[in-house]
Amino acid sequence: MNDLFHQIRELRRRDERRSCAPDHVQELLLVTKVGEEACKAGEPYRRSKGWVTEGPVTATAQQARREMCAAIMAGLVALDRLCPDGDAVQVWDGCLAFGYERALREDTEAP
């Protein structure tokens, strides 16, 4: 996981450099990019299913997967920015463990 956030940190540096924005604005840009990328990810998925295109498939599953990865990367970049002490790995691991335990419990209790 540390390798992942090492790479994420490099993506973050690139995004911050490209923005040419003041520090407090960079954070806002990184956080709002998550929603932007998430919305963008839905479009190729719909088109790969032929939805909203009146039937013809106008995107591949690979395109849909790549856009989903872009949205996830944007989220991890924003998380890294919001963790000034470099503890994004611990925050992510904690959230993932919580979600996993909750899903496991709910799935076990489900009829």
Domain boundaries, the chain: 2-109
> What pLDDT score does 50 carry?
84
d(CA 54, CA 27): 40
- The rounded distance, in Å, linking the Cα atoms of 91 and 93 is 6
pLDDT score of 54: 73
List average pLDDT for each run of 10 residues in the chain, which is 111 residues long. Answer: 86 96 94 95 89 80 95 97 91 96 95 85
Are 76 and 7 in contact by the 8 Å Cβ rule? The answer is no
Among residues 72, 86, 87, the alpha carbon closest in space to that of 35 is found at 72
pLDDT of residue 2: 65
CA 76/CA 40 separation, integer angstroms = 17
- Record the pTM: 0.86
Identify the residue whose tokens are 């995107």: 59
In this prediction, residue 49 carries a pLDDT of: 87
